[in-house]
Structures are given as structure tokens and as C-alpha cells.
A and B are shown apart, each in its own frame.
Chain A
């Protein structure tokens, strides 16, 4: 039940795009057609589900105050918290590279579909943002962290596919010149965000 709750919260209530604006740059860049949006959406789900558990382990066994106790008692007072950013971004960049190589070997078809998007994800704020929020939320075990990663990815996927569909639909609509393109995308995202506010306080 706890896991379901975390999933619903991270996918809908604390949606990455509408509540925190994580990954807005790629969100606006790929949302011109549904096909590319679906590709990047899956890539984000994939990378978030892989990197958040890894970062959880790093946070709990390397970075936290007293996390190094497993190496011996003399390390109990070491606090490496200030290394968080550089460790997380290194994990993310190398995982993305690794995932790219594995996917290329195992499933060339999937690689063809995700190919160009995977390297881009290393600098997508959604991934690092997810990891930093994971650190802030202090999950009890790695299962919860994984579900949080999956939920956040699904939330991002929903948001990007929804806006891509809307932007495809309004492509030939008569929009005032200055709002065409980016301006309209912002406005639509704002309205969608208002709709998503309806999930506030939603719990099972």
C-alpha cells in the first residue's frame, strides 16, 4: 500500500513537470510530435528507474553522515555530504552511457527508437532532480526509492505525451503571431498544470 501511495504521489500529485518544472527544456523541445515524445518519455522512465536506486545506495552507503560505518568504526564520523552533486551527476552520466551500450547490444530495435535521446538525458534536470528529491525524502528502503523513480518517470511520460498530442492538434489553429510556438506551449502547460492541481492531497 505504501508503495502504491508513493507511486501515485510521484506520478500525479508531485508531477515532475507541473509541480517542479523538471526537464522543461527537453519537454518543450521534443513535444512537437507524439512519436518523439513517446521515445524520450520511455527513455526517461528507464533511466530514472535505474539511476535512483543506484543513487540511493550511494547516498546511504557512501555520502550520508555515518554511512561509511561498514568500512570500520573509525569512519563513523565521516560526512561526505558535500560531494552529493558531483557523485550523483557522475553516476547519472556513466549510467546513461552504460545503458546506451547495453541497449545497443541487446535490442537494436529499441536502440533505434531511443538512440538519439539517451545521451541527451544525462543533462535532463528530471534525472538529477529526481535523485536530489530522493535524498531529501529519506526513503526507508531501496524498494520505495525504486518505485519513486518509476513513478516520477511515468509522470514525466504522461506530461510530455499529453502536451505533444495537444500541440499536434493545434498545429493549424489560428494563434496570434507572437504566441506561436514556445509561447503557446508555455500557456498550455500552465493550463494543464492547473488541471493537475486537482490531484492535490490525493491519497489512497
Chain B
């Protein structure tokens, strides 16, 4: 009797293939959005997160570029993970990422020239964006293709979230616009809110304000989720 149940259980185990969106896989996507956010908790990929946030359009284009590069890099490194010799894995990863970034750069130059000009060197800096190297090292090298895909999606969306929130405040209060559309009226003609004496906050356009905004983001996030608070 006992043996039979064991056999039945074993059969069950063989039959039970992991569904595409099992609990574990879902966690791969949702974790980086809050509890394990690449920017605010893992503290990776900050250079670009802070530098391209003056306008929402640039921030969105940057997020999409990072999404593409991280997704493709995670998938290809995960496919090659058994072929890459351990000693030269950093160089292999750099070459994969650099080739993908060249594609992104050429596409941006061809179809979105003004945004590409504004992002300037920061498109190239996706190569050394620690989120990408970090995810390749920590995840894609040791996991199958599907979990790596989900991991890439989750992390790049987590990255995009911070970028969009920071650039929203910077563009709205720095130049009174969102995606280039005037929200508070026209500053030079003095219409809308500007007629009542409202003024743009020039500080918001300067680099230090993004640092302060990210600090506030971290503050709010950790206040909502006290388990993330660092102890020392």
C-alpha cells in the first residue's frame, strides 16, 4: 500500500511541469518592482537613472533601450551559459552587451535623432550599466532561458519606474511641461498659472535635484515597507 502511494506520487512529480507563470516565476517579475528594486534597493545603474531624467521623453526612450538590451542580453547569455568559460565570462558579457547597444544607438540615430542627441553618451553607457552586468552575472549565467527573460523584464520595469517618477517631477516643476506639452501654461507669454505669478523651479533642471528626488523616492518606499530599512 505504502509503495503504491510512493509510485503515484512520483508519477505526479514527473507529470507536474512548471507552469509558465508559476508563483516562483511571477515573483521574478514583481520582486524588482518594489522589494528588490534595482535602483533604490540594489543600488545599480544609477548613473543613467539620474542623468537622463530632465525630460520624460528621454527617460522613456532610455527605459525602452535598457529593456531591449537587458532582455536580449539575458536571453543570449542564458542560452550560452554552458559554453562560456568561467575565466573570460566578463569579456564575453561585455561583447554581447556592447553589440546590442550599438544596435540601439544606430536605431535611435536613424529614427529618433533629437532624443539620441540629448541622451548623447548615455546610450553608450548602457554597456557599463551595472543593472545589466549585475543581472547577467547574478541570474542569466545560472538559470534557464524563461526565468532569465522574466528576470530581465522585471528588473528593467523596476528601473523604468524610478526613471519615470523622477523625470515626471523634474519636468513638471522644472519647465512646467510633460512630454514637451505645456501643463501650467506658457512661461514666456505669461499665460495660465504663470499669469498668477507662478514660476518654474530652475533647481529642478540641475543635476543635484535628481539625487534629492531619488532620496525622497527611497524614503517613501521604505516608509511603506519597513522591512527594507537598513540597520547598522
Q: Which residues of A contact B (CB under 8 A)?
A: 18-25, 28-29, 82-86, 88-90, 93, 119, 122-125, 127-129, 132-133, 136, 171, 176-184, 186-187, 189-191, 193-194, 197
Chain A, interface SS category: helix
Residues of chain B in range 24-61 having any CB-CB distance to chain A below 8 Å: 40-41, 43-48, 50-51
A190/B232 in contact, CB under 8 A: no
Closest Cβ of chain B to A201, distance in Å, is 14
B129/A125 in contact, CB under 8 A: yes
Q: Which residues of B contact A (CB under 8 A)?
A: 40-41, 43-48, 50-51, 90-91, 94-95, 98-99, 101-102, 105-106, 120-121, 124-125, 127-130, 133, 206-212, 214-215, 218-223, 226, 228-232
**Chain A residues, CB < 8 A from B95:** 86, 90
B105/A22 in contact, CB under 8 A: no
**Chain A residues, CB < 8 A from B43:** 25, 28-29, 182
User: How far apart are the CA atoms of A182 and B101 in the complex, in Å?
Assistant: 29
Instruction: Name A89's contact: one of B98, B206, B212 (CB within 8 Å).
Output: B98
**Chain A residues, CB < 8 A from B207:** 18-21, 193
A181/B230 in contact, CB under 8 A: yes
Closest Cβ of chain B to A174, distance in Å, is 12
Most buried by A among B45, B208, B209: B208
Residue of B nearest to A196 (CB): B208
A21/B46 in contact, CB under 8 A: yes
User: How far apart are the CA atoms of A190 and B209 in the complex, in Å?
Assistant: 7
B226/A86 in contact, CB under 8 A: no
**Chain A residues, CB < 8 A from B102:** 82-83, 85-86
Closest Cβ of chain A to B101, distance in Å, is 6
**Chain A residues, CB < 8 A from B208:** 18, 189-191, 193-194, 197
**Chain A residues, CB < 8 A from B229:** 177-178, 180
**Chain A residues, CB < 8 A from B221:** 178
Most buried by B among A29, A133, A189: A189
A125/B215 in contact, CB under 8 A: no
Instruction: Name A132's contact: one of B45, B50, B125, B231 (CB within 8 Å).
Output: B125
Closest Cβ of chain A to B37, distance in Å, is 11
